C-alpha cells in the first residue's frame, strides 16, 4: 500500500519509519527537506490543495490513506491560524478519492473529562476548559461533520526514545532531571496518576486505524484512545528513572502556578500551560479502547519506558 503523511515531526517521522519497515510506500509532505530513508518527499505546504491532490494521486497508485501529522507552535492563536484550513484541504482531497484521514489527537478538547477518559468518545465528551482545548474541540467538530472518513487517535503526554524533549513535558521536567540526579520540578500535583503514550504505540495505533477505518468509523468519524502506559504519579516516575539510571534520587517538587503564570508574560508556551493547569492538578488517565482490546496493540510497559529513557538521559555531574 501507499500512504501520504503530512509533517515530519516526532510523530510523522516514527510513522514513516513504521510504514516503510512494514513494506509500504510512503510519500511525505513537508516544508523541510529531510525525510526517512526510503520515503518520497514532496516539499510544500499541506494546505496547498494542488500539492495534496498530486501526492494522493501518485503515479496512478492512489494512496490508501492520509496521516495528517503537522503541528505548529504551542499557542492557541497559532493553532487557530495554522491548523483548521489545512485540515479542511486534507479532508476535501481525501473525500474526493474516498480514502480515510487519520489524525493524532490530544486530550485537551475533553477538559476535566480527561481525568478518566474512555471510549466511546462522542461529541458529548468534548468539554474544553482552555483556549488550546477550544481549538481542538473545533477541529474535532469539523472532522465529525466532514464527508471524509476520519479517525482521531487520542494520546496522553508523549514519551519514548523518539520523543523530543522540547515537546514532551515528562522528558523535559521529569525524566531528564531525575535521570541526571537533579531535582524534578513538575507541573501540577506530583502524586496524582497520569497516563503517558509512547510515540511508537501511537503510530502503531494510527496505522491500524487507517487499515481498519471502515470498521472503526462506520458512521464516517471515530475518536479512539491510543494504547497508553501507566498511569503513574510523576513522583513515582522520577524515583524509578533515578533508580534505573543508578543516580541519587533527588526531591520531586511542584512548580508553583504563579511562577508559570509569570513566565507566561514572556513565553506563549508557559501561558498555555498555565491555561491548562486543571489538566495537571488532577489525574489524567486514558483507559484502554478498541485499538488495544480489539486489535491487540499492547502499550509499552513502564519498565520499558524507564529503560529506554535512561539510555537518552544526560549523565549526572
- 313 pLDDT above the threshold of 50: no
N-to-C CA span, the chain: 49
The CA distance from 168 to 161, in Å, is 11
Tell me the mean pLDDT in the region 128-148.
98
* Block residue for cell numbers 506530583: 190
In a domain, 192, yes or no: yes
Phi, psi of 24 (to 5 degrees): -90, 160
The CA distance from 224 to 197, in Å, is 13
Interval 184-238: pLDDT, tens: 999 999 999 999 999 999 999 999 999 999 999 999 999 999 999 999 999 999 9
The CA distance from 40 to 205, in Å, is 23
Interval 260-291: pLDDT, tens: 999 999 999 999 999 999 999 999 999 999 99
Contact between 62 and 99 under an 8 Å Cβ cutoff? The reply is yes
Confidence of residue 312 (pLDDT cuts 50, 70, 90): low
In a domain, 269, yes or no: no
Q: Please give the grid coordinates belonging to residue 172.
A: 523535559
In a domain, 241, yes or no: no
Write the burial class of residue 212 (CB in 10 Å: 0-12 exposed, 13-18 middle, 19+ buried): middle
- 316 pLDDT above the threshold of 60: no
Contact between 170 and 159 under an 8 Å Cβ cutoff? The reply is yes
In a domain, 212, yes or no: yes
DSSP state of 142: H
In a domain, 240, yes or no: no
Nearest to 46 by CA among 57, 31, 63, 61: 31
- 306 pLDDT above the threshold of 60: yes
- 294 pLDDT above the threshold of 90: yes
What is the tally of helices (H) and strands (E) in the chain? Answer: 15, 14
Please state whether the predicted TM-score (pTM) of the whole model is above 0.85: yes
Contact between 238 and 169 under an 8 Å Cβ cutoff? The reply is no
The CA distance from 280 to 254, in Å, is 11
Nearest to 300 by CA among 158, 218, 170, 200: 200
Collapsing DSSP to helix, strand or coil, 68 comes out as strand
Write the burial class of residue 315 (CB in 10 Å: 0-12 exposed, 13-18 middle, 19+ buried): exposed
Confidence of residue 164 (pLDDT cuts 50, 70, 90): confident
In a domain, 243, yes or no: no
Q: What is the pLDDT of residue 165?
A: 79
Does residue 82 come out as left (phi exceeding 0), alpha (psi in the -120 to 50 range) or beta? alpha
Q: Give the total number of structural domains in the chain.
A: 1
In a domain, 86, yes or no: yes
Domain with residue 46: its CATH number is 3.40.50.720
Mean pLDDT, the chain, rounded, equals 95
Q: What is the pLDDT of residue 161?
A: 78
Q: Which structural domain range is residue 26 located in?
A: 2-233+277-311
Tell me the mean pLDDT in the region 145-168.
92
The CA distance from 90 to 69, in Å, is 11
SS3 per residue for 219-241? CCEEEEECCCEEEEEHHHHHHHH
At 299, which helix (H) or strand (E)?
none
Nearest to 179 by CA among 245, 115, 126: 245
The CA distance from 104 to 42, in Å, is 21
Q: What angle do CA 79, 84, 88 make, to 5 degrees?
A: 155
In a domain, 121, yes or no: yes
Nearest to 142 by CA among 185, 101, 179: 101
Q: Please give the grid coordinates belonging to residue 289.
A: 479502547
Amino acid at each position: 500500500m501507499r500512504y501520504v503523511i503530512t509533517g515530519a515531526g516526532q510523530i510523522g517521522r516514527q510513522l514513516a519509519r513504521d510504514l516503510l519497515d512494514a513494506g509500504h510506500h510512503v510519500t511525505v509532505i513537508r516544508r523541510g527537506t529531510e525525510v526517512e530513508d526510503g520515503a518520497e518527499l514532496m516539499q510544500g505546504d499541506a494546505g496547498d490543495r494542488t500539492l495534496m491532490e498530486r501526492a494522493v494521486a501518485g503515479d496512478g497508485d492512489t494512496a490508501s490513506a492520509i496521516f495528517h501529522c503537522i503541528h505548529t507552535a504551542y499557542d492557541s492563536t497559532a493553532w487557530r491560524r495554522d491548523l483548521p484550513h489545512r485540515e479542511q484541504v486534507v479532508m476535501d482531497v481525501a473525500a474526493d478519492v474516498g480514502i480515510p484521514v487519520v489524525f493524532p489527537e490530544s486530550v485537551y478538547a475533553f477538559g476535566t473529562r480527561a481525568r478518566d477518559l474512555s471510549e466511546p468518545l462522542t461529541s458529548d465528551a468534548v468539554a474544553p476548559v482552555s483556549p488550546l482545548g477550544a481549538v481542538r474541540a473545533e477541529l474535532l467538530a469539523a472532522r465529525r461533520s466532514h464527508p471524509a472518513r476520519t479517525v482521531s487517535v487520542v494520546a496522553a503526554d508523549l514519551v519514548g526514545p523518539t520523543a523530543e524533549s522540547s515537546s514532551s513535558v515528562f522528558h523535559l521536567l521529569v525524566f531528564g532531571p531525575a535521570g541526571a540526579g537533579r531535582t524534578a520540578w513538575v507541573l501540577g500535583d506530583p502524586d496524582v496518576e497520569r497516563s503517558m503514550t509512547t510515540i511508537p504505540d501511537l503510530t502503531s495505533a494510527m496505522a491500524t486505524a487507517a487499515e481498519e477505518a471502515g470498521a472503526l468509523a462506520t458512521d464516517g468519524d471515530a475518536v479512539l484512545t491510543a494504547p497508553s502506559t501507566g498511569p503513574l504519579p510523576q513522583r513515582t516516575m522520577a524515583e524509578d528513572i533515578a533508580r534505573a539510571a543508578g543516580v541519587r534520587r533527588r526531591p520531586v517538587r511542584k512548580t508553583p502556578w504563579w511562577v508559570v503564570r509569570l513566565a507566561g508574560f514572556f513565553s506563549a508556551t508557559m501561558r498555555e500551560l498555565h491555561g491548562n493547569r486543571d489538566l495537571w492538578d488532577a489525574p489524567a488517565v486514558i483507559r484502554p479502547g478498541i485499538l488495544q482490546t480489539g486489535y491487540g496493540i499492547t502499550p509499552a510497559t513502564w519498565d520499558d519506558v524507564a529503560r529506554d529513557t535512561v539510555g537518552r538521559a544526560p549523565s549526572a555531574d
